[in-house]
Amino acid sequence: MFTRRVVSPESSQLTVLALDSATEACSVALYRDGDVHEDFTVIERGHAEHLLPMIDSLLKKSGIRLFDVDLFAFGAGPGSFTGLRIGVAMIQGLAMSVDRPVTPVSSLAALAARRTGDVLAMIDARMGQVYHGLFSVGKQGQPVPVGEEVVNNPADVPVPEVERLTILGSGWDSYADALHDRFDAGLQLEFVAGEYPHAADVARIAAHELNRGRAVEPGQALPHYVRNNVARKMGE
């Protein structure tokens, strides 16, 4: 039984603690009074050692106790198998300790939220493949999925039927040549290098979706792997 406060996404009292560890990036964020404070770093490995100190530091700087958090959120993937396991274990433990719900947020959606318009978010899936999802992102930064999130070889990623398209994420960074050749077909394109999912965007999406039934009990907060044969992934 959760000790839940009755709050709405518009309420200045809503406090959301979020993290994302689905990629090489590691980030934590605190949403409060409509503002978001974030600690973000790219560390390749060692997410488990970094996350808790980052969370402790962020809470102390903000003058917030863990019990003051109304909702926990995490980047649920797709992404690194190891990173996702670390993230979900961390957020489940924190949420259970104060009896609060958890909202899983697509890491591709969080990535797409960094731009507006039609956005193709891509995360390197290793093994020569990319996780990808197409989103329509409004001016307020809320990504709406257009179709399913899937994994493909770069040469097999579908070209959306849109006039303008932004492509970003580590999937683009890793397979830029193959993807550029495939998408250079009359579209007005913007390619953005060096972007990762951010916990700040995870927190904003979770706050926006508070009353949409996305929050679950901590034990039911699970990662979204997309690829079934995760055990075969190399280099993690």
3-state secondary structure of 72: strand
Tokens 């060692």 correspond to 46
Distance CA 181, CA 201 (A): 30
Q: Please report, in tens digits, the pLDDT of each residue of the chain (236 residues total).
A: 344 444 444 445 899 999 999 999 999 999 998 899 999 999 978 899 999 999 999 999 999 999 999 999 999 999 999 999 999 999 999 999 999 999 999 999 999 999 999 999 999 999 999 999 999 999 888 999 999 999 999 999 999 999 999 999 999 999 998 888 888 767 788 999 999 999 999 999 999 988 788 899 999 999 999 876 444 443 34
Between the CA of residue 232 and those of 77, 80, 125, 126, what are the distances in Å? 17, 12, 11, 10
- What's the confidence (pLDDT) of residue 232? 40
Distance CA 130, CA 171 (A): 5
- What's the confidence (pLDDT) of residue 53? 97
- What's the confidence (pLDDT) of residue 108? 98
Distance CA 125, CA 44 (A): 14
Partners of residue 20 on adjacent β-strands: 27
Contact indicator for 1, 99 with CB cutoff of 8 Å: yes
Q: Where are the beta strands (DSSP E) in the chain?
A: 15-20, 25-32, 35-42, 71-75, 102-105, 117-126, 129-137, 143-145, 150-152, 164-168, 188-192
Spell out the domains of the chain, with CATH numbers in brackets.
15-106+198-232 (3.30.420.40), 108-192 (3.30.420.40)
The letter for the amino acid at 123 is I
- What's the confidence (pLDDT) of residue 12? 55
> How is residue 204 written in tokens?
């904003």
- What's the confidence (pLDDT) of residue 231? 40
